[in-house]
Copies of this chain bind each other. A is one copy, B any other.
């Protein structure tokens, strides 16, 4: 699968978050070479922590697949998932996650915890990282630089 191609779509979602002054993180879910779920962070806009990109994408993909098991899907996300999103990915049994850049403060794909690859859970995820790393990292840095200016 062309990880760069799909990460660009996740990155486009991150731009949508940036445009509404939200931390710019975006996600898409791919099934049989089609995007069946997408989402971007809108936690402040919606006043609800559940509006992370990955959660929105999982919600949409589950509707498409008509099952809570997203077994043949790949989730792309611009930034390493937080504990909530990593947990949702494991719950949905998504076999593969591709992320752009690490989150050293809350990442649960290896940075703080590795929820995605915990032997004692009943599902373990294949993780590929560093796709479009610079772009995914730069948009975050730009966002926080602008935030500090305000």
Q: Which residues of A contact B (CB under 8 A)?
A: 43-44, 46-50, 52, 55, 58-59, 62-63, 66-68, 82-88, 90-92, 105-106, 108, 112-113, 115, 118, 120-122
Contact = CB atoms under 8 A, between A and B. Distances in A.
Contacts of A43: 68
Contact of A108 (B58, B87, B88): B87
Pairs of residues from A and B, 7 with the lowest C-beta to C-beta distance, nearest first: A83-B87, A84-B87, A49-B91, A48-B62, A84-B88, A49-B92, A49-B68
Contact of A59 (B48, B66, B84): B48
Contacts of A112: 118, 120-121
A21 to B, nearest CB: 15
A121 B83 contact: yes
Nearest to A105: B122
Most buried by B among A43, A88, A90: A88
Contacts of A88: 49-50, 84, 87
Contacts of A55: 50
Nearest to A44: B68
Most buried by B among A49, A86, A90, A118: A49
Contact of A47 (B67, B82, B86, B90): B67
Contacts of A47: 62-63, 66-68
